[in-house]
Amino acid sequence: MEDLRLYINTLRHDFSKQTLNEKDVDASPILQFEKWFKEAVDAHVNEPNAMTVSTATKAGKPSARILLLRNFNESGFVFYTNYTSRKGLEIGQNPYCALLFFWPELERQIRIEGILEKQTAEESDIYFNTRPRGSKLGAWTSEQSKVIESRDILEHEFQKLSENFQGENIPRPANWGGFTLKPVSIEFWQGRPSRLHDRILYTQENSNWKIERLAP
């Protein structure tokens, strides 16, 4: 490609699949999320539970990465990580977090903002016990976000732990577990023609949710 920058500037896609009206959405953003999530599954979206998780340091320096949503209900949205990873340390400094789901097959995205709370050890144990053996060993093997000299060191440690835990139930490492994002705002975005997208915002007010339309 001769001029990649020119190519980027000319990329265009006009959205036209569906509409989103504030009169038609559920009064609960959690139920609206469930409705859209089911539609993403039915549309065979690739990994519909993949989401961008954005955290920040105490000073406000942001970082983002893709994680997998593992549960959601009226209490919030759940993911799991190493507590001593970069994101885990940032959450310890600053519990504010943003999640982003993007489903291009449906021309939709969902933005969720709120405060993270660490799950109880019992809650994290329940999920950890459902993981494949390799994933359990991986949680023990990796000092996530730390500098390592080579992949060989990682694979050697994995093999050693595999042998040590041979024939045994693998417990959850103390530095690994879940967070629940308690939402304070949730925005549903539906692509529309001419960049006049539909944006419906839910904002928490006491125990209720206010529903408003945003300019695209």
Cα 101 to Cα 62: distance, rounded to the nearest angstrom: 18
Which one of 12, 70, 151, 195 is the catalytic residue? 195
Cα 199 to Cα 70: distance, rounded to the nearest angstrom: 25
**CA dihedral sign of residues 169, 172, 174, 175:** positive
Has 195 been annotated as catalytic? yes
Cα 162 to Cα 99: distance, rounded to the nearest angstrom: 34
DSSP assigned state of 28? S
DSSP string, 34-53: HHHHHHHHHTT-SSTTEEEE
Cα 93 to Cα 184: distance, rounded to the nearest angstrom: 19
Q: Residue 119: name the closest of 180, 69, 77, 54 by CA.
A: 180
From residue 149, give the alpha-carbon distance in Å to each of 152, 154, 156: 8, 9, 12
Taking CA 203 as the corner, what is the angle to CA 200 and CA 209, rounded to the nearest 5 degrees? 95
Burial (CB count <10 Å: 0-12, 13-18, 19+), residue 59 = exposed
Where in the sequence numbering do the catalytic residues fall?
Answer: 195
